[in-house]
Structure 1
Amino acid sequence: MTRGEDEMTRTAACQCGAVKLEMVGEPIVAATCYCQSCQTAGHGFEAMSGAPEVVGADGGTPYVLMRKDRLQWLSGPDQLEEHRLTPDSPTRRFVARCCNSPVALEFTKGHWLSVYSARIPEGERPPAEMRTIVGDRPAGVELPDDIPKYRAPTGKFMWRLLKAWVAMGFRAPPLEATKGYAG
């Protein structure tokens, strides 16, 4: 991972601090997802002993999407456990076994990692810029108009993913390529 001297560095960590992930640079986007997959997985994680809240009262799960080439495990990658909703799911979520904290979600063919926003300290956490897949939110939930909300991934969202991929030279490095991953 290369880093410019003036690039922002954030750290994400499980709730006990054993697993730490360094993120360098600006995120691709900070968003809250309301899809059924995020709700199902999040509620499943919340049922684990001592696990933190994952899904908000409005049904949303806040994430910060980061380029995979801007990530480095600082500690505890051997504590990560992979979870998939189905065996053939292209999405895998990583939970720290030490404290049952969901840390991140990876679309395995993608060039980004979606870090659960709650794993980033409040002072470093970028605010959500948009809400996605809002049609899947729980019945009766009204969302405020403070940020844009979309029923599906938008052109703006996809454009940001494309720009990040171009900046990465059209590479999609496997997460295992990041330093220290023992998965």
Structure 2
Amino acid sequence: MSSSQSLACACGRFNLLVQGDPITSVECHCDSCRAAGARLGKLPCARSMLGPQGGTRFVLYRKDRVRFTAGADQLREFRLSPGAGSRRVLASCCNTPVFLEFKGGHWLSLYAGLWPDGTLPLLEMRTMTGDLADASFLPDDVPNLRNQSVSFFAKLMKAWIAMGFRSPAIDVKGEIRA
């Protein structure tokens, strides 16, 4: 296992610590990530969630390897619709995207913008490119998967087994509307 890394929001009021190696490092091109990125990108002082090709970069970590060390009271959730099973969580102090969480998930998809320049883990794959009208513009530097692959789900399953099949809850108070 690698060492710990401290990450922070743009203004520094919210901090977290990740321990060990990530599950994987991906760029998602699903309709939901692109829609959320467009909506949340309009918030005051917001960092863009969307990369040059319109995808959202995430580094996936087991929940038991992520610890909020300061400013957890700044976290607010955003859902694309009231009944949505996934939520995006931002640091409300500066509207920095922090993580995407799937209902019942044992991992957090941490937004790439949290990593200081030059420290972001290398991209391993692009997922959900099947949601794009035309994915031919994407570079071929990593696999461009129409959906998630068997290896993607195998990595998630391996992490869940290592966690003893637990899915810790993360309490977030308040919402952001965009």
Asked whether the two chains share a fold, i.e. TM above 0.5, the reply is yes
**Partner residue, 2:18:** 23
1:41 to 1:154, Cα distance in 2 relative to 1, 3 A: same
Deviation at 1:86, TM superposition (A): 1.1
CA-atom RMSD in angstroms: 1.6
Deviation at 1:7, TM superposition (A): 3.2
AA aligned to 1:148 is P
The reply to whether residue 61 of structure 1 matches residue 88 of structure 2 is: no
- Residue pairs, 1:80-159, within 5 angstroms: 80-137=75-132, 139=134, 142-159=137-154
Aligned length: 174
**Partner residue, 1:162:** 157
**Partner residue, 1:3:** none
The reply to whether residue 36 of structure 1 matches residue 42 of structure 2 is: no
For the 8 Å contact 2:76–2:173, the answer to whether it is kept is no
Deviation at 1:136, TM superposition (A): 2.1
1:140 to 1:156, Cα distance in 2 relative to 1, 3 A: closer
Match of 1:125, SS state, is: coil
Q: Distance in 2 between matches of 1:34 and 1:59?
A: 7
Match of 1:175, SS state, is: coil
Deviation at 1:182, TM superposition (A): 5.8
1:159 to 1:79, Cα distance in 2 relative to 1, 3 A: same
Deviation at 1:138, TM superposition (A): 5.9
Deviation track 1:77-96 (CA, whole Å, cap 9, x = no partner) reads: 10111101111111111111
- TM-score in terms of structure 2 length: 0.92
Q: Distance in 1 between matches of 2:45 and 2:150?
A: 38
Match of 1:106, SS state, is: strand
Q: Distance in 2 between matches of 1:136 and 1:127?
A: 23
Q: Distance in 2 between matches of 1:110 and 1:47?
A: 28
Match of 2:77, SS state, is: strand
Q: Distance in 1 between matches of 2:31 and 2:154?
A: 23
Deviates more, 1:139-148 or 1:126-135: 139-148
| Long gaps (5+) in structure 1 | 1-5
Deviation track 1:103-158 (CA, whole Å, cap 9, x = no partner) reads: 11111201000000111112331011000001223647611111111001100000
For the 8 Å contact 2:24–2:155, the answer to whether it is kept is yes
For the 8 Å contact 1:58–1:137, the answer to whether it is kept is no
- TM-score in terms of structure 1 length: 0.89
For the 8 Å contact 1:59–1:138, the answer to whether it is kept is no
AA aligned to 2:67 is Q
1:49 to 25, 36, 44: 44
Deviation at 1:11, TM superposition (A): 2.3
Deviation at 1:12, TM superposition (A): 2.4
Quote the sequence identity (%): 44
1:104 to 1:150, Cα distance in 2 relative to 1, 3 A: same
